[in-house]
Amino acid sequence: MKVITTIEGMRAYREEQQDRSVGFVPTMGYLHEGHMSMVESSTKENDRTVVSIFVNPLQFGPDEDFDNYPRNFERDRKIAESYGADAVFYPSTEEMYPRKRTISLNVIDRTDVLCGPSRPGHFEGVATVIVKLLQIIQPGRMYLGQKDAQQVAVLEGLVADFNIPTEIIPCPTVREEDGLAKSSRNVNLTEQERKEAPFLYKSLKQAEKMAEKGERDPEAIKAEITKMIQENTSGTIDYREVLSYPYLKPATPEDEKWICAVAVYFQHARLIDNIILTISQKGESI
């Protein structure tokens, strides 16, 4: 497996693969099974798989956990290699952002909900680094975790709006045995918080049960999610939302799919999770 730290080096590697299909898994490192299932999907579907490891300062707010974000490149390198990645792109911040930018991106849709309000500038930062990575790596397919459902929605808009020749492949959320969604941020939980954290998913499964029994009032479902998280964790709810999917508009019984999504602040980590529910059978599923 190649470790590439410069844009020029990455372009040269890509040039060598010219006639081969390339899959791309963008990450901020501290790889876990969620990432690895994406790498596995990519290795099955492409001749070459490139994993990027870059903690992107642009997508962190001033009060967010950029400094606190876990980093361990040697560990990541070994994991990526063991799962069959062909190359790791591991640039420095200076390599990716060498000078003051002259152009910025504005995400004008799908960001007024969920993580948008509490993370101003976050999706702009994500979109910016992804545009750059897609131009440098030029993959045919990019693998994204469905756990970051809003990120998937925003990046699907990006790729469509700018005609970027990369297909987005959303990958199912990988979970611990107790249901907690795998996340690099989980290591920042205290022992007690780690025991409480599975209640994010439990509250979403409860929402799923309610919907299966015919509940179509988003407010009733939201109230139940709130209750379960408040009664079972020491965290502070950032949001719990029930929205149409993938449009992220207010949920109605006519929607084909809903997304139930939660974000909870613990002491040193903000965790998110979501579940997609099939509501109306009218149309084709998406």
CA 120 to chain CA centroid, Å, is 16
Query: How far, in Å, CA of 156 to CA of 164, rounded?
Result: 10
> In terms of CB distance, is 92 or 104 closer to a copy of itself?
104
Q: Which tokens hold the place of 18?
A: 């010219």
* Closest approach of a copy of itself to the CB of residue 123, in Å: 9
Phi, psi of 151 (to 5 degrees): -60, -45
Does 35 qualify as catalytic in the annotation? Answer: yes
- Residue 154 to residues 104, 141, 220, Cα–Cα distance (Å): 15, 16, 28
Is 183 labelled as part of a ligand binding site?
yes
Q: With H, G, I as helix, E, B as strand and everything else as coil, classify residue 270.
A: strand
Instruction: Give the DSSP H or E segment for 33.
Output: helix 33-45
31 annotated as ligand-binding: yes
Q: Is 230 annotated as a binding residue?
A: no
Give the number of C-alpha atoms closer than 13 A to the C-alpha of residue 84, restricted to the C-beta side. Answer: 15
SS3 199: helix
- Annotated catalytic residue within 10, 25, 26, 35: 35
Q: To the nearest whole angstrom, how small is the minimum distance from the Cβ of residue 6 to a copy of itself?
A: 12
Query: DSSP secondary-structure letter at 48?
Result: E
User: Where along the sequence are the contacts to a copy of itself (CB under 8 A)?
Assistant: 7, 11, 18-19, 99-110, 127-128, 131-132, 135-136, 138, 154, 157-158, 160-165
Q: Is 36 a known ligand-binding residue?
A: no
144 annotated as belonging to a binding site for a ligand = no
Residue (19 or 284) nearer to a copy of itself, CB = 19
Q: Which of residues 163 and 281 has its CB atom nearest to a copy of itself in the complex?
A: 163
For the bound state, the minimum distance from the C-beta of residue 107 to a copy of itself, rounded and expressed in Å, comes to: 6
DSSP sequence for 126-191: HHHHHHHHHHHH--SEEEEEGGGHHHHHHHHHHHHHTT-S-EEEEEPPPB-TTSPBP-GGGGGS-H
Q: Given the complex with a copy of itself, which of 34 and 91 has the nearer CB atom?
A: 91
Q: Return d(Cα 52, Cα 5) in angstroms, integer.
A: 10
| Least CB distance to a copy of itself at residue 185 (A) | 26
> Is 78 annotated as contributing to ligand binding?
no
Report in angstroms how near the CB of residue 219 gets to a copy of itself at its nearest.
27
**19 or 191, CB closer to a copy of itself?**
19
Which residues make up each annotated binding site for beta-alanine? 59
Write out the catalytic residue numbers. 35
Which residues make up each annotated binding site? 28-35, 59, 145-148, 151, 174, 182-185
Which residues make up each annotated binding site for ATP? 28-35, 145-148, 174, 182-185
